[in-house]
Amino acid sequence: MQIADRSEAPTAIRTDLGAIFVSLELSRSTWLITSLSPGSGEKMSKHLVRGGDIAALLERFTQLQEKTQARIGKRFEIIVIQEAGLDGFWIHRVLQSKGIDSHIVDSHIVDPASIATSRRRRRAKTDRIDGEALVRALLAYKRGEPRVCAMVKVPTPEEEDRRRLYRERKVLIAEQIEHVNRLKGLLFSQGISGYEPLRRDRWRQLEELQTGDGRLLPKHLKAQICRELNRLELLLEQIKAVEVERDALLAAEETSAPAPAALLLNIRGIGPEFAAVLWSEGLFRHFDNRRQVAAYAGLAPTPWQSGAVDREQGVSKSGNPRLRTTLIQLAWLWVRHQPRSALTLWFEARVKRNGGRLKKTTIVALARKLLVALWKYVTAGVLIEGAAMKV
């Protein structure tokens, strides 16, 4: 009886490498390059370069190819993976532009939250461990294993730049609220209430103010308030400038081929800010089905099922937070401005069935339905049932 040769253990999938797999662990000071090359077995090599040094990174890629060619006798291409983070997309774009010269066939950016990690209470975490985990995730992804990780769809530079306007406006509005609250707090400590810093006559109001005990504003307090008002006026000018740019961008879209932003502006209750956010944050992307749309906004349900336990944990909140926040705000306004739409009638019937309770939970469900309905409207022209359009 012959004994089977076990020198090569059978595997369910192919394990021979057809490329050099590289992961990048990026930080401000250093970049850790972890690679797995054909003919190196299971050993992964690690190399450090200074953060931001693209030339050293490409030189390391060349070295990996030369070493592999000397070992195998064949030149292999390189597949790169990195996590989405502070560095944005510029490194990915550099690698794509250098692809022909350095034989980089593919560059991927992965959502770090989608990579499985140990569930131990205390787990080791270092750049070396994370780099190896990225390489393993890339190998599994290229083998075609389903749901092994979530790769980020990289926007074009134009799409990325288009989002700056309303994101900057959101930051400016938050700063405006801080200055207004600070001014009101300073005055309230002197017994003064009712002063509105956003009114056009704010300077005249300031001259007429008196403390609660009948005194004029103290010298240094008034000087501080004047400086706060100067900063507030600068913010108001910047907000106005950003809104002018935003409106000009939307007007250009209306005159060109039909775009999501232009179509959204036709619906009652959706203004320039909502249209810009919905368009630039979500609806410019391609989605295969409504589940992908809801998941991208973080509005997908997250059930918890195990044996007899079956409960719902709420929405995942793992998607785009700006899009999700805007949709929930829009859902409240939708109920007000679209009272005869099928979505509003569904919301009111659901709240009534719950005895007027769980409004906040139901409005999130309405936001998910509204996003899917708007997606169908801007991509396929499916009108939202009962929705009123602007005249």
CB under 8 Å to 253, separation ≥6 — which residues? 259, 261, 262
- pLDDT at 16 (0 to 100): 66
Contact 283, 262 (CB under 8 A): no
- pLDDT at 97 (0 to 100): 85
Chain position carrying tokens 């309303």 = 166
The full set of domain ranges for the chain reads 20-154, 161-255, 260-380
Chain position carrying tokens 């953060």 = 51
CATH for 20-154?
3.30.420
Amino acid letter, 330: L
What stretches of the chain show up as alpha helix (H) in DSSP? 54-72, 90-97, 99-102, 127-143, 157-162, 164-188, 202-208, 219-255, 260-264, 272-278, 290-296, 321-337, 342-353, 359-380
Alpha-carbon span 35 to 131, nearest angstrom: 9
- pLDDT at 83 (0 to 100): 95
- pLDDT at 166 (0 to 100): 86
Chain position carrying tokens 């797995």 = 36
- pLDDT at 100 (0 to 100): 47
CB under 8 Å to 163, separation ≥6 — which residues? 280, 281
Residues 308-346 as b or e (16 or more Cβ within 10 Å = b): eeeeeeebeebbbebbbebbbebbeebbebbeebebbee
SS3 state at 111: coil
pLDDT tens-digit readout, 98-116:
764 556 668 999 999 889 8
Which positions of the chain have pLDDT values less than 70? 1-16, 99-105, 254-259
Quote the tokens at residue 258: 């039909």
pLDDT tens-digit readout, 86-102:
999 999 999 988 764 55
Alpha-carbon span 304 to 327, nearest angstrom: 25
CA torsion angle 17 20 23 29 (round to 10)? 160
Amino acid letter, 146: P
